[in-house]
Amino acid sequence: MDPRRTARTVSDPKVRQVGFFTPPPDHAISDPPRHHDPIQSPSQSSPPVNDRSPSDSSLSPVMIPPPRHHSDALLRTALQATSPTKPFSPSTRTVMIPPENKDLRSPGRKVVYGKSPSSFSGVKASSVPASELTTVSVVNLALGISGKILTAEEAGGASVEVQNDRRASSKPLKEKTSKAERRALQEAQRAAKAAAKAEGSKASSSASKVVTSENTKPIKATKPSSQKNDGSQVAASDKKGGDRAPEKDRKKDAPHPRMQYDDTSRVEKAKKRAVVKQTEARNRVELFRHLPQYEHGTQLPDLETKFFELDPMHPALYKVGLQYLSGDIYGGNARCIAMLQAFKEAIKDYSTPPEKTLIRDLTARISSYVSFLIECRPLSISMGNAIKFLKSRIAKLPLALSESEAKTTLMLDIDRFINEKIILADKVIVEHAVTKISDGDVLLTYGASSAVEMILLHAHELGKEFRVVVVDSHPKLEGQLLLRRLVRKGLSCTYTHVNAVSYIMHEVTRVFLGASSVLSNGTVYSRVGTACVAMVAHAFRVPVLVCCEAYKFHERVQLDSICSNELGNPDAISKVHGREEINYLDGLVNCENLQLLNLIYDATPSDYVSMVITDYGMVPPTSVPVIVREYRREHLWS
């Protein structure tokens, strides 16, 4: 099991890169990072490298030297690329300072740090224009202080201090830097922790270490990034400044690596941010450890007690979150509508704080809402798409718009999204699907899909004579609700559980299924059990029609239902609802040998799907990527 997963994580980024960008030039790939040493070091930074490498190599012998170089080069190239835009060229400064430092440091490390601030400012006064001097000297002072703290305290404090320095030092630079340079700095910050940790452990020469980290910050920066990515990435970032822009785009395009919940350190970090108190379920099925699963009993009461303490949260959002958490609202469309309506309320009550712009602040606000909702329950794909839509609308607001105008525009946009993408789409789907229903048909549906329900009701209104088989499954038994509504309308129905689907399939002429999402390889991502029903239908040569609004389509490709899924409350399957006398699992739930798996979704391969009925008509599953592409380009994101 483990080897298999590691294999996937390794291969994953590779696949992604193939999909999204052209392979970098040959020399870039073939060049090992170390190879750059002779090329670049002669120019400026070889002495410091030699000076420092022995001490650092004891920490991580392999990683440190190459990335330092290439990112040094990176910074330099970046500066070169941007230098024409600036009145004075800071490239000289960056070249100058590091050797100076190292010279100071090299004679006696323990002595130096007390002196270093003064010597620094001296250097700066001579070589750098005045405006730069002030900012950097501030950093130096902070460094001196941090050095003292470091000696007193242990390594733990170091990382914080160093980071602060980073931020302070990067800020002044940022104002006058180009994109490329900013990117380098960003990388530096991202890597700050790793670098700081490496330094912090060296307690003896801690002060001087901090100094080096400050000066050679971009150098360390790329270390983790080069660890993560393979050779092509490193090579790509080594290219000249002109090539950087596409690379940046690529970075934006690449999907965020999904949070893997078996990565304990990241989970810990996420937990600190979380509003909802999440206790990890202890006994998780091995194969699904990477998915979040929490103890369900404690979340709701805990969130409820914090009702008045979550000040920034809008009440409407809070209510929706509670409803997600308690399962009061379910289903892709309903959740999406509820969320959008809550967003609308929030936007209505929103007012831009002073000294902030609406576009930025509202986006941040929405993001915080979204992360709250994710904590309540992982987002569905439909919600993700709706959020993307809303954010892009916010980002594209004209700057000239007044706040109230912007708010009305956004609220109208939300309404439009609900109307066009969900309600109208459903109507169109119904129109299309009804043509496939003829008298005497026996239609099978699984679960409770709002689109399928509308189709059935509409066909009934048209006076078609057909019979419905509602297939249901534990633990949610949503089918019963659908059944209740259908029977009330006078449809003739059969109700069965998914276990019996192969027997009932004999008499079925068409299968209508709802979907949570249709992925771009035609895979239908839907309520667990859908795949089983579709497979049986396929075996019996019964056409399977999947009804899904186009806003739920996603460009992702997914081959199985393991890598991305949602885990429900395991208690829901261990207890049989409504039959208290069946309690065979009582007392076993916390047993280590027992692992309960309550999957929410599954992936139906496109082979089993005859047709996808969407608001753009009836298409074969192979045409989904076309719709994703067109839809995305023309309707939402541009």
Partner 1 sequence: MDFQVVVLAGGTSKNLTPLVSKEVPKPLLPVANRPLLYYVLHQLEQSNLKDLIVVVEGEDAALLVGSWISGTFVDRLHVEIAAVPEDIGTAGAIRAISHHLTTKDILVVSGDLVSDVPPGAVAATHRRHDAVVTAMLCSVPVSGPSESGSSGGKDKAKKPGRYDIIGLDPGKQFLLHIATGAEIEKDTRLQKHILHAVGQMEIRSDLMDAYMYAFKRSVLQEVLDQKDTFQSLKHDVLPYLVQSQLKSEALLNGIPQAEENGNEKFSSQNNQVLVSQILFNSSIPSFHKISSVDPDGSASIRTHKCCAYIASSSSYCMRLNSIQAFMDINRDVTGEADYLLSNTSSDHNNVIGPSPKLGTKTTVGPHCMLGEGSEMGDKCQVKRSVIGRHCRIGSHVKVVNSVVMNHVTIGDGCIIQGSVICSNVQLQERVVLKDCQVGAGFVVTAGSEYKGESMARKEK
Question: Is 318 a residue that touches partner 1 (CB under 8 A)?
Answer: yes
Classified as helix, coil or strand, 498 is helix
Residues 390, 410 contacting (CB under 8 angstroms): yes
The interface region with partner 1, picked from 118-126, 190-198, 354-362, 414-422 by CB under 8 A, is: 414-422
Residues 94, 76 contacting (CB under 8 angstroms): yes
- Residue whose CB is less far from partner 1, 12 or 415: 415
* Interface with partner 1 (CB under 8 A), residue from 195, 198, 418, 456: 418
Of 276, 277, 353, 279, give the one whose Cα is nearest residue 317. Answer: 276
Enumerate residues 6+ apart whose C-beta is below 8 A from 591: 283
Question: Is 249 a residue that touches partner 1 (CB under 8 A)?
Answer: no
Q: Which helix (H) or strand (E) holds 544?
A: strand 544-547
Question: Is 20 a residue that touches partner 1 (CB under 8 A)?
Answer: no
Question: Is 43 a residue that touches partner 1 (CB under 8 A)?
Answer: no
Question: Is 309 a residue that touches partner 1 (CB under 8 A)?
Answer: yes
* Interface with partner 1 (CB under 8 A), residue from 209, 344, 365, 510: 344
- Residue whose CB is less far from partner 1, 167 or 416: 416
Q: Which two structure tokens, joined as six digits, stand for 182?
A: 């900013």
Question: Is 331 a residue that touches partner 1 (CB under 8 A)?
Answer: yes
Nearest approach, Cβ of 544 to partner 1 (angstroms)? 23
Positions in 425-454 near partner 1 (CB under 8 A): 426, 448, 450, 453
Nearest approach, Cβ of 309 to partner 1 (angstroms)? 5
Question: Is 532 a residue that touches partner 1 (CB under 8 A)?
Answer: no
Of 597, 601, 624, give the one whose Cα is nearest residue 288. Answer: 597
- Residue whose CB is less far from partner 1, 194 or 414: 414
Question: Is 308 a residue that touches partner 1 (CB under 8 A)?
Answer: yes
Q: How many CB atoms lie within 10 A of CB 491?
A: 18
Nearest approach, Cβ of 304 to partner 1 (angstroms)? 4
Q: How many CB atoms lie within 10 A of CB 139?
A: 20
- Residue whose CB is less far from partner 1, 289 or 319: 319
Q: How far apart are CA 530 and CA 472, in angstroms?
A: 10
What phi, psi does 603 have (nearest 5°)? -115, 125
Question: Is 348 a residue that touches partner 1 (CB under 8 A)?
Answer: no
Strands 517-518 and 544-547 come out as unpaired
Q: Which two structure tokens, joined as six digits, stand for 81?
A: 């690329």
Of 391, 400, 396, give the one whose Cα is nearest residue 347. Answer: 391
* Interface with partner 1 (CB under 8 A), residue from 53, 89, 330, 556: 330
Bond before 23 cis per omega within 30 degrees: no
Question: Is 341 a residue that touches partner 1 (CB under 8 A)?
Answer: yes
Classified as helix, coil or strand, 369 is helix
The interface region with partner 1, picked from 218-226, 246-254, 287-295, 315-323 by CB under 8 A, is: 315-323
* Interface with partner 1 (CB under 8 A), residue from 128, 203, 267, 334: 334
The interface region with partner 1, picked from 80-88, 253-261, 279-287, 338-346 by CB under 8 A, is: 338-346
- Residue whose CB is less far from partner 1, 336 or 624: 336
* Interface with partner 1 (CB under 8 A), residue from 162, 338, 567, 624: 338
Q: Tell me the three-class secondary structure of 39-52, residue by residue.
A: HHCCCCCHHHHHHH
| Residue positions counted in the chain | 638
Q: How many CB atoms lie within 10 A of CB 37?
A: 16
Q: Which two structure tokens, joined as six digits, stand for 391?
A: 């954010």
Nearest approach, Cβ of 571 to partner 1 (angstroms)? 15
Q: Which two structure tokens, joined as six digits, stand for 103?
A: 């010279």
Nearest approach, Cβ of 319 to partner 1 (angstroms)? 5
The interface region with partner 1, picked from 3-11, 52-60, 415-423, 610-618 by CB under 8 A, is: 415-423
Question: Is 527 a residue that touches partner 1 (CB under 8 A)?
Answer: no
Per-residue x/- track, 488-517, partner 1 (CB under 8 A): xx----------------------------
* Interface with partner 1 (CB under 8 A), residue from 481, 562, 572, 636: 481
Strands 617-619 and 611-614 come out as antiparallel
Q: How far apart are CA 473 and CA 262, in angstroms?
A: 29
Q: How many residues bind partner 1 (CB under 8 A)?
A: 40
Q: How far apart are CA 556 and CA 551, in angstroms?
A: 14
Q: Kindly tell me the sign of the dihedral angle through the C-alpha atoms of 614, 619, 621, 622.
A: negative
Site residues, partner 1 (CB under 8 A): 301, 303-311, 315, 318-319, 322-323, 326-331, 333-334, 337-338, 341, 344, 415, 418-419, 422-423, 426, 448, 450, 453, 481, 485, 488-489
